[in-house]
Amino acid sequence: MSRKHETKYPTTPTPRSGKSFAGLILVLVTLFAVSMTLLIRADSKRSQTEAEFQLTYFAELFSQSVESSITLANVQMWNMINRIGYLPLTTTESIEARSGKMIRNTLDSIEQIDSVVLIDPTGNVAWATTEALIGQNLSDREYFQRAIKLSHGEFFVGVPIIARGTGRRLTPVAWPLVSRSGLVHGVVVSSLGESYFSNLLTLKDVPEDMAVSVLASNGEAAFISRDGSTEEVIIATNNVSSLGMTAHVTRNRDAVMAGFTQRTTVFSIIAITLFATAIGAGIGSHTKSLQLADGLERLQNHTNRIRAAQREFDTVFENVGDGIVIFDENGKLARSNKKAREFLRKTDDETTVNYLRSKLPDFSQIESDFAVHQLVLPHASEEDNEQQVQCRVMKLETNGQQIAYCVLTDVSAEQRLSAARTNFVTSINHELRTPLTSLSGAIDMLQQRFSQDLPVGADKLVAMASRNADRLLILVNDILTLQAIDQGQLNVRSVPLSIDEALDEAVEINSGYGVRFKVSLVRRPTEAGIILADPDRMQQIFSNLISNAIKYSPMNGTVTIGATQSDGMVEFFVSDDGPGIPISASDKIFDRFAKPLHARGIQASGTGLGLAITKQLVERQDGTITFQSQMASEASEAHGTTFYVMLKLHGLETNQKVVTA
């Protein structure tokens, strides 16, 4: 058992112990009394401080409400001024006819003001919602003299006055009437009545003993909610900086401290509860303040990221390689980047947009899909007189507004390259194909007629010359075919064509080529059928596939051709037992000027154009071309490649037609 439980207390109090107990009670009472006194004094001071803080806070809120509502009214008034400011003030009738309805609608939509007066530059009232003011001269009024000197976006709040007709206290507000050119040709005047400030007070929780007044810079009262008490009061003030006014808020001190008296009566009973409640409320308030601070910090970080992203976007937009121009129908949005201004030789966004719009269709005619327009512009350099610029235009919708998005690209080099390529191909056609055809024919005649008379070894040279001439002629023909494809000039003459006849002709044409490489060309029996195709283009397809198969086949190898039918389709095939096509090259096999697929000892010579041309010829006839290939490996010695050309079967009743690519 612990020593605490072993302690024994006397059962009968002694005088000494009673005095000690009384002294302890006295000390406790004294401490309690002192504590209560200190707490009451502290509570009294806290109550007064809290009241002062509340008044200060209310004054700030009231000032902010006044400023924000006046700022909103200023924006609405400037929207109206911008709409009426493009014409000078003339007669009252012309102003009424032109803008009267719009001004009254604006007045109805702005709660802060209750009248509008238009004053011409001489100070005469040209138009007013209160007809009694029309014709009066107000040039001696301070608000007129100050407002006539202001610029766009500014306004002036005058000192309070007493209205002549109604006797109401009004605070005049004046705006310059600015034209689009920046010329001030009048003043727009309105007023803030006491009802405006009263309406703001109805939005606040205002105690009955609180008095609110708004004073102008010269001390004149623009608004007084009620007469302040002559007794001792608590005062708070706050400046309405944008209006040059000061808000005064007062409360009766006795009314403020009435709650303190009531709290003091019951404080001894609920002190502990209030203390615990106060601690809990303080912790809760602190937690909320921390959350609010954290939220504000996140908001600031988010805002900074948005600004950084905007700067990055502006940098990219300004320095992108293509020219970009954006505008809307009403001319409010006009933006261009550096490259667009260089293309159009302008220095600012507005002139750039106006110049480009003069070259494009009307905004209403711009489609949602990109439309291409060719622009011929003066070139910046002296060497080139003209610059070819391609302008792609489309209509977009953002934030409920339609805009035109234009992308400018300099295609001068492409145009020159296209012209050079056309001239090059034309030169090939005239300067190479004709001489090569004659040369190849002459060598063939030499071999046929005089091969027996040639010196020993000369026949090999003639054969070499014949092969090289044929290779050059094939290369020239391939280049001309690609040119026809690229320029949309490849004609495909579709006629009913027998499958058997097409295959027989392919074997007949290419058998001699196989003999040269010591490769046999075998045709598999096929089912009779008709396709709609160009006979010459089909033989060109077969020749490219068969010649490739022969070149890659080993000596004494076999190339097999044939066709199968299924579901209304015919599938031609050309198969060899060559080295196969590497998997890494399967996606590039139909590219132009494809790189060699095998090492030098395996790769056959060629232009790298045959399969690219073959694919185009097949697709121009609504067909598809595929292949299967397997390279020899340690696991399997099966290898070789098979190309498949799939076309539709056709009935004999279909009429002949010609399709131009």
pLDDT (tens digit per residue) in 212-233: 878 877 777 777 776 655 567 7
pLDDT average, residue stretch 301-315? 89
Q: Check pLDDT > 90 for residue 359.
A: no
Q: What's the confidence (pLDDT) of residue 274? A: 57
Q: Which of 226, 231, 171, 185 is nearest to 86 (CA)?
A: 185
Q: What's the confidence (pLDDT) of residue 589? A: 84
Q: Which of 592, 581, 586 is nearest to 630 (CA)?
A: 581
Sign of CA dihedral 420, 423, 425, 428: negative
pLDDT average, residue stretch 76-104? 85
Q: What's the confidence (pLDDT) of residue 342? A: 87
61, two tokens: 């809120």
Q: What's the confidence (pLDDT) of residue 562? A: 95
CA distance 357 to 406: 10
Q: Where are the alpha helices (DSSP H) in 333-381?
A: 338-344, 349-359
Q: How far, CA to CA in Å, does 152 sit from each of 78, 85, 144, 186, 233?
A: 8, 11, 15, 12, 44
* 39 vs 515, residue with greater confidence: 515
Average the pLDDT over each of 52-61, 254-263, 487-496, 540-549 and give the range with the smallest value.
254-263
Write the DSSP assignment of 299-337 as a string of letters.
HHHHHHHHHHHHHHHHHHHHH-SSEEEEEESSSS-EEE-
Q: What's the confidence (pLDDT) of residue 82? A: 85
398: which strand partners?
Answer: 401
Q: What's the confidence (pLDDT) of residue 46? A: 77
Average the pLDDT over each of 142-156, 256-270, 635-649 and give the range with the smallest value.
256-270
pLDDT average, residue stretch 351-376? 86
612, two tokens: 């690219």
Q: What's the confidence (pLDDT) of residue 9? A: 44
**182-204 per-position pLDDT tens digit:** 788 899 998 887 777 777 776 56
Amino acid at 604: A
Q: What share of the chain is helix, strand, coil (3-state, %, to 5)?
A: 50, 25, 30
CA–centroid distance for 365 within its chain: 23
**Class for the domain spanning 21-272:** alpha beta
Contact between 93 and 102 under an 8 Å Cβ cutoff? The reply is: no
**Main-chain dihedrals φ then ψ at residue 180, nearest 5 degrees:** -65, -25
Q: What's the confidence (pLDDT) of residue 153? A: 82
* 41 vs 118, residue with greater confidence: 118
CA distance 248 to 223: 10
- How many C-beta neighbours within 10 Å does residue 104 have? 13
Averaged pLDDT score across all residues of the chain: 78
For the question of whether the overall pTM of this predicted structure is more than 0.85, the answer is no
Write down the CATH superfamily of domain 490-660: Histidine kinase-like ATPase, C-terminal domain (3.30.565.10)
Q: What's the confidence (pLDDT) of residue 530? A: 94
Q: What's the confidence (pLDDT) of residue 575? A: 94
Q: Check pLDDT > 80 for residue 330.
A: yes
Q: List, in sequence order, every beta strand (DSSP E) within 110-204.
A: 117-119, 125-128, 156-157, 161-162, 169-178, 184-193
Contact between 439 and 358 under an 8 Å Cβ cutoff? The reply is: no
Q: What's the confidence (pLDDT) of residue 660? A: 38
Q: What's the confidence (pLDDT) of residue 657? A: 42
Q: Which of 475, 479, 495 is nearest to 487 (CA)?
A: 479
575: which strand partners?
Answer: 560, 642
Three-state DSSP class for residue 77 = helix
97, two tokens: 């006819």
Rounded to the nearest 10 degrees, how much is the dihedral formed by the CA atoms of 646, 647, 648, 652? Answer: -140
* 476 vs 646, residue with greater confidence: 646
Q: What's the confidence (pLDDT) of residue 84? A: 84
**383-399 per-position pLDDT tens digit:** 556 778 888 898 888 88
Q: Check pLDDT > 90 for residue 646.
A: yes
pLDDT average, residue stretch 534-557? 89
Q: Which residues contact 614 (CB under 8 A, 6 or more apart)?
A: 540, 541, 544, 545, 590, 625
Contact between 462 and 443 under an 8 Å Cβ cutoff? The reply is: yes
Average the pLDDT over each of 217-221, 417-421, 558-562, 622-626 and give the range with the smallest value.
417-421
- Residue extents of the structural domains in the chain: 21-272, 320-410, 415-483, 490-660
Contact between 178 and 187 under an 8 Å Cβ cutoff? The reply is: no
**393-431 per-position pLDDT tens digit:** 988 888 888 999 999 888 877 767 766 666 666 666 556
Q: Check pLDDT > 50 for residue 469.
A: yes
Report residue 271's pLDDT band, with 50, 70 and 90 as the boundaries: low
Q: What's the confidence (pLDDT) of residue 564? A: 94
Q: Check pLDDT > 60 for residue 659.
A: no
Three-state DSSP class for residue 630 = strand
Q: How far, CA to CA in Å, does 73 sit from each of 81, 223, 240?
A: 12, 19, 15
CA distance 596 to 603: 6
Report residue 592's pLDDT band, with 50, 70 and 90 as the boundaries: confident
Report residue 516's pLDDT band, with 50, 70 and 90 as the boundaries: confident
* 21 vs 614, residue with greater confidence: 614
**For the chain, counts of helices (H) and of strands (E):** 15, 23
**Class for the domain spanning 320-410:** alpha beta
Contact between 130 and 166 under an 8 Å Cβ cutoff? The reply is: no
CA distance 270 to 288: 26
Judge whether 320-410 and 415-483 match in fold: no
Q: What's the confidence (pLDDT) of residue 603? A: 43
CA atoms within a 13 Å half-sphere pointing along the CA-CB vector of 561: 29
Q: What's the confidence (pLDDT) of residue 579? A: 86
Contact between 209 and 252 under an 8 Å Cβ cutoff? The reply is: yes
Helix axes of 499-516 and 535-552: crossing angle, nearest 10 degrees: 40
Q: Domain 415-483 is of which CATH architecture?
A: Orthogonal Bundle (1.10)
Q: What's the confidence (pLDDT) of residue 6? A: 45
Q: What's the confidence (pLDDT) of residue 346? A: 87
Q: Which residues contact 34 (CB under 8 A, 6 or more apart)?
A: none
Question: For the CA atoms of the chain, what is the radius of gyration?
Answer: 49
**575-588 per-position pLDDT tens digit:** 998 888 888 777 78
Report residue 163's pLDDT band, with 50, 70 and 90 as the boundaries: low
CA distance 624 to 615: 8
Q: Check pLDDT > 60 for residue 601.
A: no
pLDDT average, residue stretch 234-261? 76
pLDDT average, residue stretch 511-527? 88
Q: What's the confidence (pLDDT) of residue 653? A: 43
